Amino acid sequence: MKYKLLLVIGGIWSSFSLLANDGESWNLDDCLSYASENNISILRSGLRIDEAEVNLKESKAALFPSLTFNTSQNVNFDNVADENVIYSGTYNLSAGMTLYNGGRRLNTIEQSKVSREYALWEFLTTSNNIKIQIIRQYYQLLYTRESVITNEQILATSAKELERSTELFRSGMISKVDLAQVESQYKKDNYQLVMAKTGESEALLTLKQLLQLGNDNEFEVDFPIDEQTQLPLIPGLTEVLDNALINMPEIKGASAQMRISQLEKKIAAGEWIPTISLNGSITTGHNSISSNNFGKQIGKGFNENIGITVSVPIFNNRQTKSRVERAGISIIDSELYYENIILEITNTITTIHLDAISAQSQYEASLAQLAAAEESYDLVQQKFNLGMLNAVDLLVEKNSLLSAMQDRIQAKYSALLDIKLLEFYNNIGLSD
């Protein structure tokens, strides 16, 4: 099948790609590409396309006649006949073809086509859901990585503060209490670095598990060096919604489901209409008591039959009517599902867009807050080094600086994630 061939080719290509990436860092595109070709959920969903293709071929084959050959070989023990053992054989070739059955065959073919289309949209939906999970986890990993870098810088600053505080204590410019507080802060900052590294390791493991990479696979993520403070532009809400509502496979799948339900009702209603069938058969045989040889018996024993059968439904214990009514309920349910999918997608994209705007505003505010906190901390640190302030004042300013740093990182990656998701929804039809 075409899809299976694509899976094999894609799997081979992905294997070569994985080997090429062995020992190298993976970016987001590498992760998405690998998952598309190797994720088990995506591959299993792709098998539904093959299954739908088989069902379509089967429904098309129902238009052609059926042909069956039957033979029976018998041994009869007859004490009355001259020969106690009589051997006989019959041979039958029969064919049948439905000429008309209320359009059920044609509607079944059309339903199989739509079911194949539905399987494709389900496959793309599964693929997109996996990709969205990977995007979220990838940016979570970037966030934890920058947190590690920030905490390393903080710990380096704490080490210098501890060294300077030790000198000030020895010179008698600060008390032992101040030195103890600075030392406690150093240990606290070291603990925060350990926790940040743990968070990074957990985020990396989760991403690796999403990609379904084994423990023996080397996996390192490319952490881009981002020194820009300007965030990417946020895609317009109207544009994203228009593109998503046209191209989202969930919506196309829901639309296909409505058509499947409508065809199911037509198929069910066709059972009320008479069925016309054409059938024919050829039968011959032989036996051991005939004076003719096998060939003559077969040649003279042909019996041909051809006929038309008309089957008129009269009463079948309400089975047809119940099937039609259930199909009608299914149509209503599929229509409601279609409307609900549109509503869910609209709400999801609208929420992400609102979060992106909010995160962007928070990021811009956090930059100003961070600049002010850094300036204030520098001034307080200078006074502390001169012995003009105690450790409490220094640590208060430092904690304010740490809070501003964390606010910046949080707002930055929240905004970047939301913008990336909006771009994904905006371009979702282009990558299918």
Express each pLDDT in 71-125 by its tens digit. 999 988 766 555 578 888 999 999 999 999 989 999 999 999 999 999 999 999 9
Give the mean pLDDT of the chain: 88
Mean pLDDT of 336-341: 97
Q: Are 42 and 130 in contact (CB under 8 A)?
A: yes
- Sole residue written with tokens 């030790």: 166
Predicted pLDDT of residue 8: 39
Predicted pLDDT of residue 206: 92
Q: Which residues contact 77 (CB under 8 A, 6 or more apart)?
A: 84, 85, 86
Rg (CA), the chain: 38
Backbone phi, psi, residue 25, to 5°: -80, 145
How much of the chain, in percent, has pLDDT values that exceed 90? 67
Predicted pLDDT of residue 77: 77
Give the three-state DSSP class for 164.
helix
Give the three-state DSSP class for 307.
strand
CATH of domain 109-272+319-426: 1.20.1600.10
Range 282-285 contact pairs with CB under 8 angstroms and sequence separation of 24 or more: 282/92, 282/93, 282/94, 283/90, 283/91, 283/92, 283/93, 284/90, 284/91, 285/88, 285/89, 285/90, 285/91
Nearest residue to 247 (alpha-carbon basis) of 344, 124, 417: 124
Express each pLDDT in 277-329 by its tens digit. 999 999 999 888 877 888 888 888 889 999 999 999 998 889 999 999 999 99
CA distances (Å), origin 375, targets 70, 160, 398, 399, 412? 97, 18, 11, 14, 21
Express each pLDDT in 343-353 by its tens digit. 999 999 999 99
Express each pLDDT in 372-405 by its tens digit. 999 998 998 888 888 787 888 888 888 899 999 9
Dist CA 208 CA 218 (whole Å)? 10
> What does the block give as tokens for 46?
């792709």
Dist CA 299 CA 304 (whole Å)? 12
Domain regions of the chain by residue span: 109-272+319-426
Q: Are 283 and 90 in contact (CB under 8 A)?
A: yes
Express each pLDDT in 21-77 by its tens digit. 455 789 999 999 999 999 999 999 999 999 999 999 999 999 999 999 999 999 887
Segment holding 92, helix H or strand E: strand 85-100
> What does the block give as tokens for 359?
């995160």
How much of the chain, in percent, has pLDDT values that exceed 70? 91
Would you say residue 16 has pLDDT above 60? no
